[in-house]
Chain A
Amino acid sequence: MDFWFSEEQTSNVKLSIRIDRQLYSGKSEFQRIDVFDSPEFGRFLTLDGYMMLTEKDEFIYHEMITHVPMAVHPKVRQVLVIGAGDGGVIRELARYPEIEHIDMVEIDPLVVEVCRQYLPQTACRLDDPRLHIHYEDGVKFVRRKVDAYDLIIVDSTDPFGPGEGLFTREFYGSCFKALREDGIMVNQHESPFYAQDALACQRAHKRIVESFPISRVYQAHIPTYPSGHWLFGFASKKYHPLKDLDEVRWNMRGLDCQYYTTTLHRGAFYLPAYVEEMLKDVE
């Protein structure tokens, strides 16, 4: 039997993964949710047919979106995570004992339920006592918060569909307001490579630059995302992602990572020329 999952990364490019079996398929109020087992990437989750994470490469995304700000901010106590229903970001955050409180705002309860059942690799820390899960629209939740968080992680889906509101000026402005005076916001920033994604990436960057005094972009290589070249946004009220990186302090923690190192942290902010230019165009 020839059983493949294919995602159209653009209307002219496909990524296909051979499937062993489909474990789950369901439809929530917001989206279609599927879980598959595959020989190459292990178990993986898709929303509306778009790849969200695979067991094999999710560590790259989750380490890079979490440890980069954690190595810069000296004292993270209160964290807000938007999206992240798979639990991967929470798993990484839970490794920091000084974090006192995490609010996770996920719009779709079914995503969390499905991940708890089928993706224990990422969902393993969703019962951490510091974690408070809120099932509502992230745009709405953050609107009501003022001066409340040290770190906001925006682990959104793509800028079309239910995640659309998380790429808007009003959302980034609300995040700015919800952060303390030395707060940091990190966001999933799309890919610079294919034209459609690049446009979304540029728009997001423009809106963040308009909302925060410090706004830098860093990169990682994620094989199952379109083009494999993925960006993250680092927006901050006070700390610079490189000048305020305290390598000794972070390395003293002795956290074992598969992708992130403080050396890679520095390197990740050195972007290809075409990406630099694309971002500069909207700054």
Chain B
Amino acid sequence: MKKTLSQQNAPIYEALERFGQMRVVPFDVPGHKRGRGNPELTALLGERCVQMDVNSMKPLDNLCHPISVIRDAECLAAEAFGAAHAFLMVGGTTSAVQSMILSVAGRGEKIILPRNVHRSVMGAMVLCGAIPVYVNPACDERLGIPLGMSLKDVEEAVRRHPDAKAILVNNPTYYGICSDLRSIVQLAHRHGMRCLVDEAHGTHFYFGENLPVSAMAAGADMAAVSMHKSGGSLTQSSLLLIGPEMSQGYVRQIINLTQTTSASYLLLSSLDISRRNLALRGKESFARVVELAEYAREEINDIGGYYAFSRELVNGDSIFDFDVTKLSVNTLDTGLAGIEVYDLLRDEYDIQIEFGDLGNILAYLSIGDRPREVERLVSALAEVRRRFGKEKTGLMTQEYLDPEVAVSPQEAFYAEKESLPIEATENRICSEFVMCYPPGIPILAPGERITREILEYIAYAKEKGCSMTGPEDPDILRLNVLKGV
């Protein structure tokens, strides 16, 4: 990083401004040529926007091999996040998570991870042939949600699989729950393993006060940070952070295996500007988000029937800490499933929330929220309960279904398969993913045995209106299973 640079700078953004003033004649891609070739698109996105959609070139650097302004932006990001290095990512946090896995494990090597990992982790294992060792996340009986990993469960996994290459941790989970990250990092390092952290929902940990510990502060080796979630950058932009023990050059090589060679400058500049915002104003911004979330929780808990949960759940282990910016609400006492409340809010009240599962909803609060929208959300929840609430009846809660890994995800994915009606697949080995989306946690992953329990759960979640994705057959009437196994 140049000595003159500070967090006040946004090198990519500044380079784009300078470049715009030069009025360079484009005989390069993109072919829309500053929007002139696609007037409808220009009308939709605005002239400024399409003029910034340019190609890598000398004054703007190149994401595959950054040496000037992108390099500077990465160094500033590393400084802001307390990392040894930061990589700007344009393939979503999915690409950041996959680069973490690909950086630490090869074919046949093990990774210890919680079952409630994002689908991107499973995808990376199909690519590299690593073997998952699942740690059963604890489950809260009342809320029906997966929690963090208990330290002794991780210790047990390490004891049984001392040859594992890495431990992966969600910090926090979609619901805002954090494991004891510092202790897990120490455990990993004691056993010569890397600690990787999926921080898709934790960008604000690096800037807010009184929030759970961030991966870099906890000493983790790598972290995938969704800048576009709580950080405010454009959708699909993300950061990959590494600690001092990782080789920057090797990680760059891994990223370049799958990352585009035409990175969008809209995404890159949005990362740059968001990093500057966070570094300069993140503390106050997230204090406001916390205040709004606390207020919303109080009001929602006042309605009755809803339980907006928070730090009171902390138990020093599987709920080591809680991210108070997450507005997670259990709906079961209203007699409504979370997914039903999610649909009612959208269809009846024009309010779109982040997700609804069987027993919970999550409303995503961020630096863009104002009190008046929170009032609407709370009132709509009160109205949903008044108009649609029922007696609490035997709603099945989301159960943790212990997976039985029969073959590696990669082997299963590429094996010869046959398609069977779903009811005929009991005891067979699945060759595809089945997810309940959102929140996108696998019910089945390639290589796992299909049990009666799993089939019942799929039928129930479908009936409740959860969107099920993954299998080749979109209606999930059939599943692909391994032939002859």
Contact = CB atoms under 8 A, between A and B. Distances in A.
A170 B376 contact: yes
B382 A174 contact: yes
Given A168-B350, A169-B349, A169-B350, A139 B372 contact: yes
B375 to A, nearest CB: 4
A249 interface: no
Interface in A86-120: none
A140 B386 CA distance: 16
A170 B383 CA distance: 6
Contacts of A55: none
B26 interface: no
Interface string B362-379: 000000000110011011
Interface in B342-367: 348-350
A48 to B, nearest CB: 15
B386 A139 contact: no
Interface residues of B, number: 15
A174 B383 contact: yes
Contacts of B2: none
A137 B349 contact: no
Interface string B292-303: 000000010000
Contacts of A162: 372
Contact of A139 (B348, B350, B375, B387): B375
Contact of A173 (B299, B371, B387): B387
Point out which of B371, B379, B382, B386 has the most chain A C-beta atoms below 10 A from its C-beta.
B379
Contacts of B387: 173
Interface string B313-351: 000000000000000000000000000000000001110
Contacts of A140: 299, 375, 378-379
A165 to B, nearest CB: 5
Q: Tell me whether chain A's interface is mostly helix, strand or loop, or mixed.
A: helix
A164 B387 CA distance: 22
B225 to A, nearest CB: 33
A168 B299 CA distance: 19
Most chain B CB neighbours (cut-off 10 Å) among A143, A165, A174: A143
B143 interface: no
B407 interface: no
B380 interface: yes
Nearest to A136: B375
A147 B372 CA distance: 24
A165 B383 contact: no
A169 B348 contact: yes
Contacts of A168: 349-350, 376, 379-380
Contact of A170 (B299, B349, B371, B372): B349
Interface string B114-156: 0000000000000000000000000000000000000000000
Interface string A155-192: 00000001011001111011001000000000000000
A139 B379 CA distance: 7
A165 B376 contact: yes
Contacts, number: 47
A139 B383 contact: no
B386 A170 contact: no
A168 B381 CA distance: 13
B224 to A, nearest CB: 36
A164 B350 contact: no
Given A169-B348, A169-B349, A170-B349, A137 B383 contact: no
Nearest to B345: A170
Contacts of B386: 173, 177
B371 A137 contact: yes
A165 B349 contact: no
A169 B383 contact: yes
B350 A137 contact: no
Nearest to A146: B386
A143 B378 contact: yes
B372 A171 contact: no
Given A169-B348, A169-B349, A139 B376 contact: yes
Contacts of A137: 371-372, 375
Interface string B210-235: 00000000000000000000000000
A275 B299 CA distance: 39
B459 to A, nearest CB: 33
Contacts of B372: 137, 139, 162, 164-165
Contacts of A173: 379, 383, 386-387
Given A165-B372, A170-B376, A173-B387, A143 B382 contact: yes
Nearest to B302: A144
Contacts of A164: 372
A171 B382 CA distance: 10
A171 B379 CA distance: 7
A169 B388 CA distance: 14
A162 B386 CA distance: 26
Nearest to A143: B379
Interface in B224-262: none
Interface in A120-141: 137, 139-140
Nearest to A141: B375
A165 B348 contact: no
Which of A140, A165, A177 lies at the interface centre, i.e. has the most chain B CB atoms within 10 A of its CB?
A140
Contacts of B383: 169-170, 173-174
Nearest to A169: B349
A165 B372 CA distance: 7
Contacts of B299: 140
A171 B377 CA distance: 10
Nearest to B381: A170
A67 to B, nearest CB: 29
A169 B346 CA distance: 11
B345 to A, nearest CB: 9
A111 to B, nearest CB: 16
11 contacts: A137-B375, A139-B372, A139-B375, A140-B299, A140-B378, A165-B375, A168-B376, A168-B379, A168-B380, A170-B382, A173-B387
Interface of A: 137, 139-140, 143, 162, 164-165, 168-171, 173-174, 177
Interface of B: 299, 348-350, 371-372, 375-376, 378-380, 382-383, 386-387
9 pairs of A and B residues whose beta carbons are closest in the complex: A170-B379, A170-B380, A173-B383, A139-B375, A170-B383, A143-B379, A140-B375, A137-B375, A139-B379
Given A137-B371, A139-B372, A168-B380, 20 more contacts: A139-B375, A140-B375, A140-B378, A143-B379, A143-B382, A165-B372, A165-B375, A165-B376, A168-B376, A168-B379, A169-B348, A169-B349, A169-B383, A170-B349, A170-B382, A173-B379, A173-B383, A173-B386, A174-B382, A174-B383
